[in-house]
Structure 1
Amino acid sequence: MKLMHLSLAVAATLLASTAGAQEYTFKVGAAYINPNATSSDITGRMALFGQPRNVTPKIQLEVQPQTAFIFSIARSFNENWEAEVLLGFPPKHDVKMRLNNDGIKQLATFSPASPPPGRTAEEVMAAKHITSYDGKVVATLTQFAPTAFINYKFGTSQSTWRPYVGVGVNYTHVKPDPTAAGEAFYGDGKVKTKVSDSWGLALQAGVSYHIDDKWLISASYATAQVKNKIRINTDNADSVHTASYKFNPSIWMLTVGRKF
């Protein structure tokens, strides 16, 4: 954590510094964000058909890809090194429920009037209810994820093509909201979800094409270490769920930039 805070402080100092700095570069463009994020199994208790029960094993939450508007500001402090802060309009990701429990899926094929041996009508009804939400969007996640990089640019200031690599730190804050399907899945009061914030290492690599001494086009790829803990509960004290995420996002960016 101290290293991450130090990295942010260094980047902020470089951006604010005037001594020895060569120029600012502003970039705007679009990003395709594939979170590559499926939660751990949801664990806990839920009240279903009036009865508290353990959460069915092998239910996860899968975050879907999204595009977003992005922008960045970079401050060079010599010909090859720069500090960059990457921001953007917070994207909203759909979150789908995934059921990977073949036993529950098989149980859902029975009629409550004729449950299989050793099972009750209530268990069949619960299985049907859970299975009906497999693949549905049960929530959205709006993420705010500023990222600070220290970049090394290959070549010289006169080069037309300039590959670059960067290392830095990412901070991710997530605002979750249940959908109508998410509320209906529980059906026992307002669904409240909390997601922890995350700090993690970030990496990027890209190339810039310099149209002239002011304008450039950049294409890049970035990723970061993002870890979140999730807590879901309703007004019913018996409904408390927990899970965790390990995001390994693939972020593809195309931007237009101008030097000042």
Structure 2
Amino acid sequence: MRIMTGILAAATVLATALPAVPAMAKQGDVLVRVRAINVMPNESSGSVLPGFPGEEVGVDNSPAPEIDITYMATDNIGFELIAATTKHSASGVSGTTGSIGRLASTWVLPPTLTAQYHFAPEGAIRPYVGAGINYTIFWNEDATDELETAVGTTLVRMSDSFGWALQAGVDIPINERMFLNLDVKYIDINTTATLTTTAARTQTVDIDLDPLVVGIGIGMKF
């Protein structure tokens, strides 16, 4: 709530500094946005099993560019598809795995489709909310040098995830076609990481990533 309050306050300040322009979003319009985002996992982890009961992992934040496309089915209802990929590292937080530090890295691709409701398509400030689904693909998983120094060559695999997403944001016109965008998403992402060493010893850990994705960018109407 504090993040959204800050975003709406900033939007109000920006909107008062901009001249009035025609409505940006009408039925049939396509809105393309390019954002700078920061993906901040709200992770919770199970134990690294069977070898390290009680030891959990943490996942770091990651900034990245993002692109999205919204089709306005009506003046108020739009459908948005977003695509971005970010790289994250998982680290031990206690015990033996904590002393190793970074355990593995992976790229995350979570294409997300949301249905949006735009409250004021003709307003100087145009807030919207959305809800939808995502399918998250983990790719290019890799054990860190720190882990392989401790246990030898290790194969890392992370299971893909299907989940839901929530969204809130605001568009602020710059001119008749371009607008500033501020956006926050919460994405439900869960995975199981499997680490297999050359000695055929396998450890698994369940991780709920559930990131908050905060972005700011520029959009254009087509």
In structure 2, the residue matched to 1:211 is: 174
Does the C-alpha gap of structure 1 residues 93 and 41 become closer, same or farther in structure 2, counting only changes over 3 Å?
A: same
Q: In the alignment, does 2:42 pair up with 1:36?
A: yes
In structure 1, the residue matched to 2:8 is: none
In structure 2, the residue matched to 1:161 is: 125
Unaligned runs of 5+ residues in structure 1 are 1-19, 45-54, 102-126
Q: In the alignment, does 2:59 pair up with 1:92?
A: no
The aligned amino acid for 1:35 is: P
The aligned amino acid for 1:246 is: D
RMSD: 1.6
Per the TM alignment, residue 211 of structure 1 is displaced from its structure 2 partner at its CA by 1.6
Q: In the alignment, does 2:160 pair up with 1:197?
A: yes
Q: For residues 48 and 98 of structure 2, what CA distance do their matches in structure 1 show?
A: 15
Unaligned runs of 5+ residues in structure 2 are 1-25
CA contact (8 A) 1:218 1:256 kept: yes
In structure 2, the residue matched to 1:141 is: 106
Q: In the alignment, does 2:138 pair up with 1:171?
A: no
Per the TM alignment, residue 202 of structure 1 is displaced from its structure 2 partner at its CA by 0.5
TM-score (norm 1): 0.72
Question: 1:226-237 maps to which residues of 2 (within 5 A)?
Answer: 226-237=189-200
Larger Rg: 1
The 4+ residue runs of structure 1 with deviation greater than 3 A are none
In structure 1, the residue matched to 2:59 is: 63
- Residue range with higher mean Cα deviation, 214-223 or 30-39: 30-39
Q: For residues 221 and 176 of structure 2, what CA distance do their matches in structure 1 show?
A: 8
Q: In the alignment, does 2:144 pair up with 1:182?
A: no
The aligned amino acid for 1:36 is: N
In structure 2, the residue matched to 1:256 is: 218
Q: What do residues 80-115 of structure 1 show as CA deviations (whole Å, max 9, x unaligned)?
A: 011110012x2111221111x5xxxxxxxxxxxxxx
CA contact (8 A) 2:68 2:80 kept: yes
Per the TM alignment, residue 25 of structure 1 is displaced from its structure 2 partner at its CA by 0.6
Per the TM alignment, residue 139 of structure 1 is displaced from its structure 2 partner at its CA by 1.4
CA contact (8 A) 2:92 2:98 kept: no
| Percent identity over paired residues | 26
CA contact (8 A) 1:159 1:210 kept: no
Q: For residues 111 and 199 of structure 2, what CA distance do their matches in structure 1 show?
A: 36
Per the TM alignment, residue 21 of structure 1 is displaced from its structure 2 partner at its CA by 4.7
The aligned amino acid for 1:258 is: M
CA contact (8 A) 1:38 1:63 kept: no
Q: In the alignment, does 2:71 pair up with 1:75?
A: yes
In structure 2, the residue matched to 1:8 is: none
Q: For residues 131 and 69 of structure 1, what CA distance do their matches in structure 2 show?
A: 31
The aligned amino acid for 2:53 is: P
Name the SS of the counterpart of 1:43 in structure 2: coil
Q: What do residues 16-68 of structure 1 show as CA deviations (whole Å, max 9, x unaligned)?
A: xxxx9521111002101111224211012xxxxxxxxxx13222221100101
Per the TM alignment, residue 220 of structure 1 is displaced from its structure 2 partner at its CA by 1.1
CA contact (8 A) 2:130 2:167 kept: yes
